[in-house]
Amino acid sequence: MPEGPEIRKAADKLEKAIAHQPTTEVFFAFEHLQPYQDQLTGQAVTQISTYGKALVTHFEGGLCVYSHNQLYGKWMVRNAYNYPSTNRQLRFAIHTERKSALLYSASDIEVLPAVAVLEHPFIQRLGPDILDATVTPAEILEWVQSKVFYRRRFTTLLLDQSFLCGVGNYLRSEILFVSRLHPTHRPTDYDRDQLARFADAALAVPQQSYRHGGITNDLAIAADLKKRGMPRRHYRHWVFGRDGQGCFVCGTAIIKDRTGGRRYYYCPTCQPAER
Active site residues: 2-3, 53, 262
Per rule CB under 5 A, is residue 178 in the interface with Zn ion?
no
Shortest Cβ 206–Zn ion spacing (Å): 21
Residue with the shortest CB distance to Zn ion: 247
Name the strand (E) or helix (H) holding 118: none
Per rule CB under 5 A, is residue 270 in the interface with Zn ion?
yes
**Which of 248, 175, 173 lies closest to 207 in space, CA to CA?**
175
Q: What does the per-residue mask of binding to Zn ion show for 193-232, with x meaning CB under 5 A? A: ----------------------------------------
Q: Tell which positions 229-248 bind Zn ion, by CB under 5 A.
A: 247
Q: Please state at what angle helix 192-211 crosses helix 4-18, rounded to 10 degrees.
A: 40
Total residues contacting Zn ion by CB under 5 A comes to 7
Of 219, 230, 250, 273, the residue at the interface with Zn ion (CB under 5 A) is 250
Of 269, 272, 273, 275, the residue at the interface with Zn ion (CB under 5 A) is 269
Of 29, 221, 223, 249, the residue at the interface with Zn ion (CB under 5 A) is 249
Shortest Cβ 236–Zn ion spacing (Å): 17
Distance CA 169, CA 246 (A): 20
| CA-angle at 216, arms to 181 and 16, nearest 5° | 135
Closest CB to Zn ion among 40 and 267?
267
Torsion sign over Cα 212, 215, 220, 226:
negative
Length of the chain in terms of residues written: 275
Query: With contact defined as beta carbons under 8 Å apart, do 58 and 46 qualify?
Result: yes
DSSP per position, 157-196: HTT-TTTSBT--HHHHHHHHHHHT--TT--GGGS-HHHHH
Shortest Cβ 217–Zn ion spacing (Å): 13
Per rule CB under 5 A, is residue 267 in the interface with Zn ion?
yes
| Sites of contact with Zn ion (CB under 5 A) | 247, 249-250, 252, 267, 269-270
